Amino acid sequence: MTLAALNASDRTGFADALDGIFEGSRWVAERAWERRPFSCVEQLHASMSAEVANAEGGEQLALLRAHPDLGARVRMSEVSEGEQARAGLPRMARADAERLEQLNRAYRERFGFPFLLAVKGLTPDEVLAAIEQRLQASHEDAKIEALRQVYRIAGFRLQDRVRS
């Protein structure tokens, strides 16, 4: 879709076109619609990210929880599935996949939301190292970093979906 077409869309069409940019959180696009017109994809991304940053804590937490665990063998959005596949997570060695599952569980239990990481360009070993390191974070730092990763993921998704 082009940025010009997005700018010309009504709220529903805009949200439909951007559904999934912020996983399971259509409200982000619906609110960003108010900020049209956007001069570039980066401005659209900044506006959507600002909507998340300005959202209530419960909305932010629901957005974080809408993401699947990395490497999970569960039904997930097509976009998440593709991102994880390109990072090689479905092809991890069995021992590494089991380790990732254990770390995901520990992370979710400690922080109340899944471990989030923009996996584009990363290897399975880098993913494992990142989750092990971030398990040591404070709850506040973990949330800040999770949101930062969500913004990165959304940026990659917008680059793939919207043309200037």
CATH number at residue 103: 1.10.3330.10
pLDDT of residue 73: 62
Question: What burial letters (b/e) apply to 153-164, b meaning 16+ CB within 10 Å?
Answer: bbbbbbeebbee
Where the chain has pLDDT below 50, the residues are none
Using the structure block, give the residue that is written with the tokens 């879709």. Answer: 1
Give the residue numbers spanning the domain of 132.
3-161
Can you tell me the distance from the alpha carbon of 57 to that of 145, in angstroms, rounded to the nearest whole number?
15
pLDDT of residue 75: 57
Query: 31, 45, 67, 157: which one is catalytic?
Result: 67
Structurally, the chain folds into a number of domains equal to 1
Q: What are the pLDDT digits (tens) for 118-149?
A: 999 898 999 999 999 999 999 999 999 999 99
Asked about 67 being catalytic, the answer comes back as: yes
Output the average pLDDT for the chain. 93
pLDDT of residue 74: 57
